[in-house]
Amino acid sequence: MGTETYITVPSFFKCPISLDVMRSPVSLCTGVTYDRASIQRWLDGGNNTCPATMQVLRTKEFIPNLTLQRLIKAWSDSVGRYAAASPPPDPTLKEVNESLRRLSLEKDDEIRLEILVRFVKDSDANRAFLSARKDLVPMLVDIIAGGTRTTTRIKLVLLAIKILDSITNGGSEGDRKRLSNLMLTNGGGDCLTAILLAIQRGKLESKIESVRVLEVVSSFDAKSKLLIAERDEILTEVIKSISTESDPTLIEASLSFLITIAKSKRVRSKLIAAKTITKIKDILLTEETPSVAVTEKSLKLLETLTSKREGRSEICRGDGGRCVEGVVRKLLKVSTTATKHAVTILWCLCYVFGEDKRVKETVERSNGVTKLLVVIQSNCSPMVRQMAKDVIKVLKVKPSASDLVAYETKTTHIMPF
């Protein structure tokens, strides 16, 4: 290989649509930032949702993110002598086909994988082309399974995971089943060990890609979820990633994976025992506002964990009810989806089970009564509004004069999300 210098671009400088460094970052009403040209093409195509969160947009107007633009400019200036260098030329279809034909012959595999990485990142058409190659995924899985032998092999693993992440996200159920069987049935232990090493030793981008691949692998059936969850080290590393100090994209990917595997009752118990609820509480209470997607996924995972008695006990009794306070804080503050999850959590804790009076006291103390009154008059679904009524009913508290004043004020300015 040559001696070219490659620049690692901070993930939040990249447009979620084009994956390129943003030239003119603008933020939608959902709080997600895109490059102006990319999001304009998306909206001009007749779409009315946020591409990252798939929320319906209440307005298609966007606001220039001047702070991020200044950060990108400062970063670009600091690496200017490298950024000005010409990137490697896009690989030709002939080079790609030759790389596929000779892949896994051991010699020069790193060069061939890098050709495929550049090709797959170039366009959706390229990703579709490689996804259709039925021989590619088995070869990538073989590379991952053999990736724990040497440092050189670990580099191959990271490249193989990068390609898998690009071609399997959004794949069909058949594709997910095939990948799951390949990674978990045939030498699955080696594959999971290699992915664990990628999460532990890889750079930020590799960690995110590894967690996303794990989610795809675990999404097929209950058995795949259990096989992955039984690897305690993997759970430990992913749960560690939802720290408030982690990169937002890594937090979101980790939460999404944990939500997927938490569909299994046995996995929920493992997540609760691993203090996942404490991590979620920290996200909900952090002074720095998390992204809409991170907040929604945090609440969704917490809602899932309330189905277990030990989960409810951890939420109610841990750290003086601070987790419940965090849930109340997010009512009407983030999105319709976040409010739905928050109300459902309170409904489970107060109405369905109601085994701890401290939860009710925390809801009242955190101005929850006023917020629930507003939810009843909001544009949330009838089911969510009914759950809010149920919670108020079991609180057995007559709204105070200040509650009613706040209620009347807020119902004239209900957030349309």
CATH classification of the domain holding 19: 3.30.40.10
Mean pLDDT is lowest, of 98-107, 140-149, 256-265, for 98-107
| Pair 138, 240 in one domain | yes
Q: Which residue has the tokens 């045939």?
A: 186
| Pair 153, 228 in one domain | yes
| Pair 72, 111 in one domain | no
* Amino acid identity, position 238: V
Is residue 4 domain-resident? no
Q: Pull the structure tokens for residue 123.
A: 């366009």
* Amino acid identity, position 259: I
Domain range for 248 is 93-274
* H or E element, residue 35: strand 33-35
Whether residue 272 is predicted with pLDDT greater than 90 in this model: the reply is yes
40, 62, 84 - which closes a domain: 84
| Pair 145, 269 in one domain | yes
| Pair 248, 111 in one domain | yes
Contact predicate 160/113, CB 8 Å: yes
Band of the pLDDT at 415, cuts 50, 70, 90?
Answer: very low
Closest CA to 352 of 391, 392, 305, 301: 391
pLDDT given for residue 80 in this prediction: 59
274, 291, 319 - which closes a domain: 274
Percentage of the chain exceeding pLDDT 70: 84
| Pair 30, 66 in one domain | yes
Domain count, the chain: 3
CA atoms within 13 A on the CB side of 160: 28
Band of the pLDDT at 365, cuts 50, 70, 90?
Answer: confident
More confident residue, 300 or 188: 300
Whether residue 399 is predicted with pLDDT greater than 80 in this model: the reply is no
Q: Pull the structure tokens for residue 44.
A: 């001009």
pLDDT given for residue 168 in this prediction: 83
Closest CA to 283 of 232, 332, 334: 334
Q: Distance between CA atoms of 77 and 55, rounded to whole angstroms?
A: 35
Whether residue 221 is predicted with pLDDT greater than 60 in this model: the reply is yes
Q: Which residue has the tokens 């009564």?
A: 369
Is residue 412 domain-resident? no
Band of the pLDDT at 147, cuts 50, 70, 90?
Answer: low
| Pair 40, 142 in one domain | no
Q: Distance between CA atoms of 106 and 254, rounded to whole angstroms?
A: 32
Is residue 356 domain-resident? yes
| Pair 32, 126 in one domain | no
| Pair 252, 359 in one domain | no
Is residue 383 domain-resident? yes
Query: Which CATH number goes with the domain that contains 205?
Result: 1.25.10.10
Q: Pull the structure tokens for residue 330.
A: 């997010």
More confident residue, 89 or 370: 370
Is residue 153 domain-resident? yes
Is residue 415 domain-resident? no
Mean pLDDT, the chain, rounded, equals 82
More confident residue, 397 or 350: 350
| Pair 55, 108 in one domain | no
Whether residue 3 is predicted with pLDDT greater than 80 in this model: the reply is no
* H or E element, residue 25: strand 25-27
What value does the mean pLDDT take over residues 103-115? 75
Whether residue 412 is predicted with pLDDT greater than 60 in this model: the reply is no
* H or E element, residue 165: helix 151-168
| Pair 220, 102 in one domain | yes
More confident residue, 133 or 416: 133
Is residue 30 domain-resident? yes
Is residue 411 domain-resident? no
| Pair 65, 121 in one domain | no
Band of the pLDDT at 254, cuts 50, 70, 90?
Answer: very high
